[in-house]
Structure formats: structure tokens, C-alpha cells
Amino acid sequence: MTEYEISCLGKVRYHQRAYAKKASSRIRRNGGPNLRPYHCQYCLQWHLGHRPGHATYLRTRLNGPVPVQELTP
Ligand SMILES: [Zn+2]
């Protein structure tokens, strides 16, 4: 997996940091992981990232972004 695939591909894109922060707090309220907005060097938009050591990715669903916690052995 390249850094691009990890940090950009398949992630939800936010046009502004404020949108990413809103989505982050909504996910947190729903019992999801604590994600931090970061500016992407590839698509130049905002993504939500996980804390180091947590393999968490966001997937887009019809009702919005859904955090997917991938279990690591
Ligand atoms: Zn990106």
C-alpha cells in the first residue's frame, strides 16, 4: 500500500477544514473513533485521519461517511 492509497484514496474529501471537523465530531458522538482533520497533499482537500496505531478508514455510504475500523492482528 502506498502512502497515497493510505492517506487519500477511498477517503472522504472535505472542501473545508470546518466540514471535516463537523464530520469528526459527529462520528465521535456516534461512538466512532476520534479522527483528526488533515490537509491532503495529493488532492489538496481535507480528510479525516486516525491516531497513529489505529487503522481506521472512512468509507462513503448513502447516509454519509461511515468509519470502518480494520482489525489488525
Ligand atoms: Zn486526498
Domain count, the chain: 1
Evaluate whether residue 48 is within a structural domain: yes
> CB within 8 A of 60, min separation 6: which ones?
12, 66
**Could you list the residue range(s) of the whole structural domain that residue 47 is in?**
3-65
Please tell me the predicted confidence (pLDDT) of residue 54: 47
Evaluate whether residue 73 is within a structural domain: no
Strands annotated E in the chain: 36-39, 46-49, 56-61, 64-69
- In the numeric block, which cell numbers belong to residue 58? 472512512
> How remote is the CA of residue 38 from the centroid of ligand 1, in Å?
9
pLDDT surpassing 90 at residue 44: yes
Residue 56 lies in a domain: yes
Residue 13 has pLDDT above 90, yes or no: yes
Do 13 and 23 meet the contact criterion of CB atoms below 8 Å apart?
no
Span from the CA of 48 to the centroid of ligand 1 (angstroms): 10
Look up residue 72 and give its amino acid: T
Residue with the larger pLDDT of the pair 31 and 56: 31
Q: How far is the CA of 14 from the centre of ligand 1 (A)?
A: 9
Give a yes or no: residue 12 inside a domain. yes
- Mean pLDDT, the chain, rounded, equals 80
CA 37 – ligand 1 centroid, Å? 11
> Does the residue 27 lie in any domain?
yes
Cα 72 to averaged position of ligand 1 atoms, centre (Å): 23
